[in-house]
Structure 1
């Protein structure tokens, strides 16, 4: 893959886990950081599009010195965390649907724990260190996080519902029950965020049906007056699929999903731990064949 028209200022979309971040989920590879900062300083727009909530992405946004829009929950929350000149877009699951799902007797019986989030609050039924770490529930003080009975405590719509199952064998039956809500929700199972450090945890993540990174790519391209064919995007997992397909230069990480690689225009030569995004983007912006 080779970039055309090197004089154009690009919109560069980056996923976090498994892409810009190293496998520990806690740091950006130094090369990736340097190249993204240089791209920003050269006049390109760099935007984070992540499945993470605001609280778990804002420190990387600040570390890169970004002033652009930030997208969380794979597109369910689009906002301007710095200047606040963009009216926040939140695309949730309605309260009626949330209540219908968690009170479904089969789903209720199959779950050992439930996490429900909106863009600035989270409630989990039972304290669990893995859930707190994986979903970064304690990362930002101005987000509300409660441990409480979700059947009684949750009110309002939700950008994210996560069902933690007692037994992986129950998953098929849960999918059958969730079919009743198919017009409202999108179902993602397994490692949607790129780093699953505890494989024994069986979880199902639910978001608004229309939410995906592909339509966010269109919104951001419009906002920054960029032809979608000139947009560069990096991702590693299937929640990046629509974004990688939609943009002109969709790049899959070397450590990423084979299904994602099959639709990508390019694949990094190095993994996220090796600064694959940084080295690839640097060569691309220099007009080299990669």
Structure 2
């Protein structure tokens, strides 16, 4: 893959986990950080597009020194953290649908835990270390996190609803019930984020039906007046699939899943732990064939 028209200032979209972040989920490889910072200095626009909530994204946003729009929950929350010149866009699941789902008899009988999130608060029915770590529930101070019964305490729409099945076969029963809500929700599993554990296999994550990273890529391209064919994007998992397909230069990580590599325009030469984004983007922006 080689960039056409090197003089153009690009919109560069980056996923976090498994892409910009190393496998510890806490650090950015020095090469990747260096190249992304230089891209901003050279007039390109770098945007983080992640499944993570705002609270678990801000420190990387600050570390990279970017001031662009940020996208969380795979597109359910688009905002301008610093300048606040962009009116926040939130694409939620309605309060009524949230309650209809969690009160469905089959769901209610077969779940062990429930997480309900909006863009700035989260309720977990029972304290659970996996949920706290996976969803970064206590990463920053400006979001509210409660251990509380959502049946009694939750109010308002949700950007993310996650339910944990008691057993694998019960998960299928729950998903069958969720078909009743197919006009308003999108059903995803823990596999989509690439962190596969016993707990994640029992996890069913629900978002607004229209939300995906490809949809976000188009919004960001329009906002920054970029032809979508000139946009560069990096990702590693199935939640990056629509974004990689939508942009002109979609790059899958070497450590990414095969399904994503099959539709990508390019594959990094190195993994996320080896600075794959930095090495590939630097060569791409320099006009090299990669």
With structure 1 as the length reference, what TM-score do the two structures score?
Answer: 0.98
Query: Counterpart in 1 of 2:172?
Result: 172
Q: Distance in 1 between matches of 2:26 and 2:164?
A: 24
Alpha-carbon deviations, 1:155-210, whole Å to 9, x = none?
110000011111112121111100000000000012222334x3344100000000
Query: Counterpart in 2 of 1:261?
Result: 261
The DSSP-based 3-state class of the residue aligned with 2:192 is: coil
Alpha-carbon deviations, 1:37-80, whole Å to 9, x = none?
01011100000000000000010000000100000000000000
Query: Counterpart in 1 of 2:30?
Result: 30
- Shift of residue 134, structure 1, vs aligned partner: 1.0
Q: Distance in 2 between matches of 1:231 and 1:150?
A: 40
Q: Distance in 2 between matches of 1:175 and 1:130?
A: 22
- Shift of residue 137, structure 1, vs aligned partner: 0.5
Query: Counterpart in 1 of 2:270?
Result: 270
Query: Counterpart in 1 of 2:6?
Result: 6
Q: Distance in 2 between matches of 1:71 and 1:200?
A: 26
Q: Distance in 2 between matches of 1:194 and 1:38?
A: 29
Query: Counterpart in 1 of 2:198?
Result: 199
Q: Distance in 2 between matches of 1:68 and 1:193?
A: 24
**Greater mean deviation of Cα atoms: 187-196 or 111-120:** 187-196
Runs of 4+ more than 6 Å apart: none
Pair 270,70 (structure 1): closer, same or farther in 2 beyond 3 Å: same
Structure 1, unmatched stretches of 5+, are: none
Structure 2, unmatched stretches of 5+, are: none
Query: Counterpart in 1 of 2:143?
Result: 143
- Shift of residue 140, structure 1, vs aligned partner: 1.2
Query: Counterpart in 2 of 1:281?
Result: 281
Q: Distance in 1 between matches of 2:174 and 2:216?
A: 29
Alpha-carbon deviations, 1:8-41, whole Å to 9, x = none?
0000000000000001100111110001001011
The DSSP-based 3-state class of the residue aligned with 1:192 is: helix
Q: Does structure 2 retain, via aligned residues, the 8 Å contact 1:18–1:195?
A: no
The DSSP-based 3-state class of the residue aligned with 1:25 is: coil
Q: Distance in 2 between matches of 1:103 and 1:200?
A: 22
Q: Distance in 1 between matches of 2:170 and 2:240?
A: 27
Q: Distance in 1 between matches of 2:6 and 2:64?
A: 23
Q: Distance in 1 between matches of 2:93 and 2:138?
A: 23
Q: Distance in 1 between matches of 2:29 and 2:105?
A: 45
Aligned counterparts, 1:188-267, within 5 A: 188-196=188-196, 198-201=197-200, 202-267=202-267
Confirm or deny that 1:154 pairs with 2:154. Answer: yes
Q: Distance in 2 between matches of 1:65 and 1:144?
A: 25
Query: Counterpart in 1 of 2:78?
Result: 78
Structure 1 vs Structure 2 CA RMSD: 0.8
Confirm or deny that 1:94 pairs with 2:94. Answer: yes
Q: Does structure 1 retain, via aligned residues, the 8 Å contact 2:130–2:199?
A: no
Q: Does structure 2 retain, via aligned residues, the 8 Å contact 1:122–1:144?
A: yes
- Shift of residue 254, structure 1, vs aligned partner: 0.7
With structure 2 as the length reference, what TM-score do the two structures score?
Answer: 0.98
- Count matched residues: 289
